[in-house]
Each structure stands twice: as C-alpha cells, then as structure tokens.
Amino acid sequence: MNRIRIVAAQPNPPGRDTTWQGRATNAMLNEEWIDIQAIDSRSMVNDVLTSLAHDNACSVTGVQVLCTFPSIQLLPGQSIRVHTGSGTAGFIGHTYHYYLGRSWFVWNNGCGDRATVSYNGGVVDSAWYAARVPEGVLVRSTNSDELVPRYKAASGW
C-alpha cells in the first residue's frame, strides 16, 4: 500500500532560537525537524511536504510548500527526518536525513501548525500540534493526527 506516517517532530528545539545577533545558526535550524516513517516500502519521489501559513493574528492564510522529495526509497520501519537547515542528505542507521536548506525556522510555534505529506494532490498523511508548543520532541498521539509532547504521550494523557 506504500503507507507512511508522520510520527514525531521537534518544531520548538530546546534552548535559544537565535544568537545574540538575532540570527539562527545552521545547527539551531537543524534541531527543528519532522520524522516521517514508512509503514510499507515507499518511494518518496514527488511526495510534497507542506505546513500552514498564518498571518500575525494566527489565522490560517494557506499552505506553504516546504519541499518536493527526490527519489528516496524507504523500507518498512525506515524514516525520513526533514531538517530545516542545510546538510548532506543520506542514511544514518534506519533514518534518512533530508535538509530543506532554509535560513529561518519553518514550523510555527506561536500558532501551532500542521504538517502534510501529499502525492499527486491527495493527502498521504497529516499531523498537527497546538499553539505555544513546549520545547522538545512531539510524538504522534495514539489513534489521532495530533502531535503531543513525549512526556504526555508516555503518561497516556
């Protein structure tokens, strides 16, 4: 069936978002990521990853395309981790690290956000998180499309 699932994200990495000069370093940007896991074997070629676009009042104004994946083959259980910054793409263990090459953060912590993977105009998977997300890793809540803090998922919250 070629299924994938957004399983985790770190939209609000621990620590400061910028240097004292008000810039984000590449290392800071790469601590912002999203994990997509293959349930079945899947070629990610031409899958599109999007996030929501918001105005200053947190009203959704549309979607922004973050990337269209090249030919990346995932086997069952393998993941792709999409980092915001730059780096060299490739597998480390069972995870393929992919880099958007952006110079600023893409996931919206103040308003919340929704990550969507689509193919040929159809949604393959989608997951969201609430506004003012705490620092650290979010994981997929059981039987939902919500990403919640890891400690809440572990406690059965």
For the stretch 36-53, pLDDT in tens is 999 999 999 999 999 999
Q: According to the model, what pLDDT value does residue 15 have?
A: 87
Please choose, from the candidates 108, 124, 151, the residue with its C-alpha nearest in 3D space to the C-alpha of residue 36: 124
Return the bridge partners of 34, or none: 9, 82
User: Can you tell me the distance from the alpha carbon of 113 to that of 58, in angstroms, rounded to the nearest whole number?
Assistant: 10
pTM metric for this prediction: 0.94
- So what CATH class is 4-154? mainly beta
Each residue's pLDDT tens digit, 90-137: 999 999 999 999 999 999 999 999 999 999 999 999 999 999 999 999
Conformation bin of residue 72: beta by default, left when phi > 0, alpha when psi is -120 to 50: beta
